[in-house]
Every structure is written in C-alpha cells, then in structure tokens.
Structure 1
C-alpha cells in the first residue's frame, strides 16, 4: 500500500464552533492507481490533496505513507518524505516567474542536492521529452498556458516521484491542451507505474482514473 488515511478529520474554528473541512475520510491507495477526486466547490477536494501531499495538517485520524506514520513525524522528516516521493501539479502552474524554463525544472533537484552533472542530464531529458529544448531560456510569461502547464508537469516529474498530486491540472487550458495533459498522465500511470491522484470538475478527465471518489461537504460519498 502506498498510502492510507484512516478516519481523518480536519476543521477550523469559527465563532466558537467547528467548521469541518474533512470528515471521517478513509482512503487506501495502492501503488500504480489512478484516482479522480470530484465534488462541488468547497467540498474539500483541495484540502484532501493537501493533506495527502503533507502540505496541510489534520486534527484527528492517522495517515500512513510508505509505512511511515505521517501524523507522528516531525516537520523535517515529513518534508523529506514529500520532496522524495511526491510531485505536485497545480492549476495555477506555480512556476517561478524570475526563473527560465531550465531553471524552473532544475529547482526541485537543487532541493534534493543532486550533483550538477546529473542535474544537467535530468533537465536535458525532460526538455527533450516535452519538446521544450527551444524554450529552455524563456521565462514563464513568454509561454502559453499549455506550455506553462507542461513545464509544471515536467518539474513535478523530474525527481521521479512515486505519487503525482494534480489539482485541476487542465483548469486553465483549452480542450486540446487539456486532452494532451490527460493522455500524458495516462501514459505515466500505465507505462511507468506512477500513482496519480487528481482533483477535477470534469467528468471527462475523471474518467481517465480507475476509481472516482466523490466528496460532498468534506465527506466521501
């Protein structure tokens, strides 16, 4: 099992009462699964993704990732886990505006203290794979939305993560760009065994997953 959430609750306190963001979430994910999370705005989809990605804490329950009890780990150990095994793809791309495409791709490798020669090889490989060699010296503002999202995905993949968490990955793209991204995810999942959990509003995108989880008011229905 790659990860398991047991009886997860997350709330914020507002005006002296609890507002639940997640309630009684139980989820087991095996390596190589492709899961789609759906639900209306405010249903807790992004919160769930952030909890799985260790960007958000929770109030009750247990979370095991690769047999490590995430809920008991110190911040530093948690950060090591997600940097080593998890790649994030966001709707808003989250590229660093002041860095070129090349430098954006290199950034996660710097976090992991990968040697310079290996960094060069890995970045070159990604530029080649995503047909962006000619764009390596451009800045994000010089790219189209689809190109920015491809850079975002390349950056998520460069550390060879076991798990990709994608939050509305095609939300800002036109339909043909969106389809290209989904086909890419499908290929990563089927050919390379990367586990993918995506949050999406789109029935069409959700259908790429082998399993769909529907959230409503923080509860899996």
Structure 2
C-alpha cells in the first residue's frame, strides 16, 4: 500500500543543508499496524506528513497503492488526501466553533456527499463511538479523551484506506489513552484498516505489528512486535 524509496527531506540552513530524513525506505502492506518511534528530532512526524501528502520529500519516491505521488497534480493529491487518508493528531485539530456533529460532517462536505448520505454516516459514527449525547456540544465542552474519539471518528468517516496517527494519546490520561489505542487496534484487526502511528510510548507501540525506529532521520531498526506486548506492558 505504502512504498517509500530513499526518501530524503532537507532544508537550506545558510550555506549548509540540514537533513530531517536520510534515504528512508519502507514497505507497508495493506492491513498492517506500524509504529514509528525515535527520539525528538528523528524525523518521525515529517515522515508521517509525507505519507499523508501534507509535505513532500526533497528526494526519493513515494508510491501510494502503486501510484507515484510525484506524478499527481495538486488536485489529485488533495482528492487522495481527502478520500483515502485519515489523520488523527495529538492536539485533536477539531474546529472549535463547530459542534461534534458538524466536525464529523465537515470531511463529507469536502467529498461532496449529499445531505441524506452525510446525515446517515454521521449518525453511524455517533452511535459507533457512543457520542450521540455529545453531538450538539463544542470541543471545549468535551474531555480530552472525548475530543480524541471525535478525532478518530472524523478520520474514519471518510472510510479511508489508511489512518495516520501522530502521538494520538500524547495529551491523554492513561485510561483515555488505552481506550484510543484499543479503538485503533479494533479498527485494524476487525476492519482491516491500515494504521501508521508515531509514538514515544513502548506500551502504545505494543498494539501494532511492527516498530520502525528512526535515528537522525534514518531507519535504525525495523522489527516485528512481540505478540501480546500491549497487554503485558
């Protein structure tokens, strides 16, 4: 599904070039749950943003479902991002002046869905994530865990082929974080949604299938997760 070949990201810093990613190559198959780890400044979020078409590499090739993303027009990139890639952010990124219902509906408006279909899909997500009673509330009226559940529901409502999660439990208490990780794992195990997450937590990494460790912008390790690691942690 995701193929990265020698992905490099660099910036000009005076007369020098500062490297964020150095020749990163990864293959992520449909239905995998992959965790990207590494110290601060290792390039984790930059790599995730490139996968989500929010950023572009300086060099290398990124293929999404066999299509080189460099060959896509800006319109095609936007369409791909809106219809096949769901994002879950550490800071939730909900729209403050929209209700829960309206936050969930917004991605469907971008897709151009009709009113009745939007209503049906939003109702399904509200029920699925036990948010029916919260649908008229604004983000500021929700707990952190509830806001992140809305964020997951919003990512899922477009029926994406992959969910990219950047520190999805970073701002949550332990119990709330567990709920979010269980939700992501259930989506992966039961519905085959491909998930790529960035986290500093070894315990959260245990919910996935593989751990890719970055050091100084390069892949240092790519290993399978020991079965049952999440529950044992």
What's the offset of the Cα at 1:88? 0.0
**2:74 maps to what in 1?**
75
2: CA distance, partners of 1:99 / 1:24: 41
Where does residue 163 of structure 1 map in the other structure? 162
- Hey, what does 2:21 align to over in structure 1? 22
More RCO (CA 8 Å, sep 6+): 1
Q: What secondary structure does 1:88 align onto? A: strand
Aligned counterparts of 1:191 and 1:142: Cα–Cα separation in 2 = 31
- Aligned match of 1:205: 204
- Would you identify which runs of 4 or more consecutive aligned residues in structure 1 move more than 2 Å? none
Structure 2: how far apart are the matches of 1:102 and 1:81?
A: 24
Instruction: Give secondary structure in 1 for the equivalent of 2:178.
Output: helix
Partner of 2:231: none
Deviation at 1:27, TM superposition (A): 0.6
Residue of structure 2 in register with 1:119 after alignment: 118
Cα offset, 1:75, TM superposition:
1.2
Alpha carbon RMSD of aligned pairs, Å?
0.6
- Cross-structure match for 2:176: 177
Aligned residue for 1:160, secondary structure, equals coil
Kindly state the Cα deviation for residue 72 of structure 1 after the two structures are TM-superposed: 2.0
Q: Which residue of 2 aligns with 1:48?
A: 47
Deviation at 1:209, TM superposition (A): 1.0
Return the alpha-carbon distance in structure 2 between the equivalents of residues 116 and 67 of structure 1: 33
Residues in 2 aligned to 1:162 and 1:54: alpha-carbon distance in whole angstroms: 14
Deviation at 1:142, TM superposition (A): 0.5
Q: Distance in 2 between matches of 1:144 and 1:152?
A: 12
Task: Report the 3-state secondary structure (helix = DSSP H, G, I; strand = E; otherwise coil) of the residue aligned with 2:12.
Answer: strand
Gaps of 5+ in 1: none
- TM-score normalized by the length of structure 2: 0.93
Which string of whole-angstrom CA distances, capped at 9 and with x for unpartnered residues, describes residues 6-33 of structure 1?
0111101101111001001001111000
Give the drift of 1:68.
1.2
2:91 matched residue in structure 1: 92
Provide the C-alpha distance between the structure 1 equivalents of 2:179 and 2:83, rounded to a whole number of angstroms: 26
Alignment of 1:138-153 (within 5 A): 138-153=137-152
Look up the match of 2:229: none
Question: 5+ unaligned residues in a row in structure 2: which ranges?
Answer: 221-233
More divergent stretch after superposition (37-46 vs 72-81)? 72-81
Deviation at 1:85, TM superposition (A): 0.6
Aligned residue pairs total: 220
How far did 1:128 drift?
A: 0.4
Over residues 43-85 of structure 1, what are the superposed CA-to-partner deviations in whole Å (9 max), with x where a residue is unaligned?
Answer: 1000000000000011111111012110221111111111111
Give the match for residue 214 of structure 2.
215
Tell me, what secondary structure is at the counterpart of 2:25?
strand
Aligned match of 2:185 = 186
* Structure 1 residues 95-128: Cα deviation after superposition (integer angstroms, max 9, x where no partner): 0001000000000000000111010000000000
